[in-house]
Amino acid sequence: MTNAEAWDYAIGMIKVAGLEPTAAFKEYIEKEKRGEITMDDAKRFLDKKYKMKVRNNY
């Protein structure tokens, strides 16, 4: 499976769940498909945008 096919599959799974990727996320995907960024860049983008911040509850 190519990266483009993997992304298309992932987007399909997101849509099946009743969600829609943001325009910024779609643009990042297109950049990765074109080879302008790496998968690591995409992961950092997602982590920065969606990763929950852990709070210490002491």
pLDDT in tens, 2-37: 888 998 999 999 999 999 988 988 898 899 889 999
Top-confidence residue, 51 or 7: 7
pLDDT at 52 over 70: no
CB within 8 A of 39, min separation 6: which ones?
3, 32
pLDDT at 54 over 70: no
Would you say 3 and 39 are in contact if contact means Cβ atoms under 8 Å apart? yes
CA distance 8 to 37: 17
Model-level pTM? 0.65
Would you say 9 and 16 are in contact if contact means Cβ atoms under 8 Å apart? no
* 25: its two tokens: 């996320």
Give residue 17's pLDDT.
Answer: 93
